[in-house]
A and B are shown apart, each in its own frame.
Chain A
């Protein structure tokens, strides 16, 4: 059933061909443009590929940087979700608390994380913990706000109906409020996961000894522009990986949306 769907127009097969075509077009344009510039400004695709092979050959060095950023982003995201989700439940449940906390949240959200990052590095060191914290702070707000909005999304008529059917508060929460919050909640998680990668890289820019952001920082200092491209591509691969994972989780958790 699912395999059959994949071959239909508008789904998997057609998308892959479109992606391939666009990718090819970008590569050709890039390659053509790079012939006008020196390598330290715009390296050609083949130069980037050569540099990628080179660094991948250096005994797991690149994998170490990749793993570091991956770990920072995932742990940062996990920390953000672990704090934001229960808090969003409290805020959705108690409007007065929401009233008190929301201005603080908005104020904190408007502080650029780039400005905070050096401070956090000074406080929590050059290691991975400061990066996890920065990633968590970046990912925190969309998860929180979407959580609150999602939990407030419940149709009051459905709530009334469940009460008529004899549902208690607990049952209303688990059988109605949580499932109706899920689509919006996942929107926040999706955003948070992407932002946690950005947070990790920003943290690494502010002072680190490893990670893809550190690699970009290092490469900029030596005008190793091809290496910057390699790091960016690696970050893109990580982003796509996250996207695929969260899409899969969404499909498992919300099967009713799959068949739309």
Chain B
């Protein structure tokens, strides 16, 4: 299993006066792995995701995605943002077709359509193809964003707090769906969240970040068995792992004040 995301000693400052946003950050993700980044808000975890996505360049250090020096299009990676970011003037189907339109010629329309429909089925959306985003609930919109990210057969999925703006019930539904999709489809995942429970529930490995400057505090391997069910969160093993992550966060916080 090769490494598909490699972040080596990356430092980034948005301006010279400020403290760097990220300092000496290292991270690697192997193929097929699902890694969650947790940390307090403002610790630069979303910035790290944008660096991996290739829309920011580091001041120092290097980032390798899919073996290449920099991210190049959806053949390598796709992105699920926090609040779906669907194009409001496109129907659900047209939104899911967008990655194809941006990356290949017009000739394979029928094939795209079939793939888009399959992606929508994968996220349990049926009969909403011709609806506009504003006609859907927040959870459904987020499902469309997920389908859009999955449709292009991207190897790497970057998720930026994808469930943060959803209500609790919808949130756990979608968490279960992510786990289920991982059973059906092979991809590498890097997800940012500030919810420790969510991170432990979904990830193979949880990476803990601290703030000011954004840096790595440690990581916790999550060796809970698949398939995972909701009742997992009431087991002592789960609680112990959450406790370990919590410890890293607290240690990081106290070191900062000292």
Contact = CB atoms under 8 A, between A and B. Distances in A.
A102 interface: no
B88 interface: yes
Contacts, number: 56
Interface in A147-190: 155, 157-158, 160-167, 171, 175-176, 179-180, 182
A164 B77 contact: yes
A165 B102 contact: yes
Contact of B55 (A158, A164, A175, A260): A164
B132 A165 contact: no
Contacts of B103: 165-166
A254 interface: yes
Interface in B40-96: 50, 53-55, 71-75, 77-79, 81, 85, 87-91
A259 B134 CA distance: 9
Contact of B89 (A163, A164, A171, A179): A179
A166 to B, nearest CB: 3
A158 B54 CA distance: 15
Contacts of A155: 85
Interface of B: 50, 53-55, 71-75, 77-79, 81, 85, 87-91, 98-99, 101-103, 132, 134-135
A179 B89 CA distance: 7
A161 B74 contact: no
A158 B98 CA distance: 12
Nearest to B145: A161
Given A256-B89, A259-B135, A163 B98 contact: no
Nearest to B88: A256
A21 to B, nearest CB: 34
Interface string A201-236: 000000000000000000000000000000000000
A154 to B, nearest CB: 11
Contacts of A161: 79, 81, 85
Given A163-B55, A164-B79, A157 B85 contact: yes
Contacts of A158: 85, 87
Contacts of B98: 165, 175
17 contacts: A158-B85, A161-B81, A161-B85, A164-B79, A165-B73, A165-B98, A165-B102, A166-B72, A166-B73, A166-B74, A166-B75, A171-B102, A175-B87, A179-B87, A256-B89, A256-B132, A256-B134
A160 B160 CA distance: 13
A167 B73 CA distance: 8
> Quick one: which of A166, A175, A182, A254 has the most chain B CB within 10 A?
A166
Contact of B74 (A165, A179, A256, A260): A165
Contacts of B55: 160, 163-164
A160 B77 CA distance: 14
Contacts of B85: 155, 157-158, 161
A143 to B, nearest CB: 21
A43 B79 CA distance: 69
Nearest to B104: A166
Nearest to B98: A165
Nearest to B90: A256
A258 to B, nearest CB: 9
Nearest to B73: A166
A171 B99 CA distance: 11
Nearest to B55: A160
A154 B88 CA distance: 12
B134 A260 contact: yes
Nearest to B132: A256
Contacts of B135: 259
B132 A259 contact: yes
A180 B71 CA distance: 27
A158 B85 CA distance: 6
Contacts of B53: 164
B102 A164 contact: no
> Quick one: which of A161, A165, A180, A256 has the most chain B CB within 10 A?
A165
Contact of A162 (B71, B72, B88, B102): B102
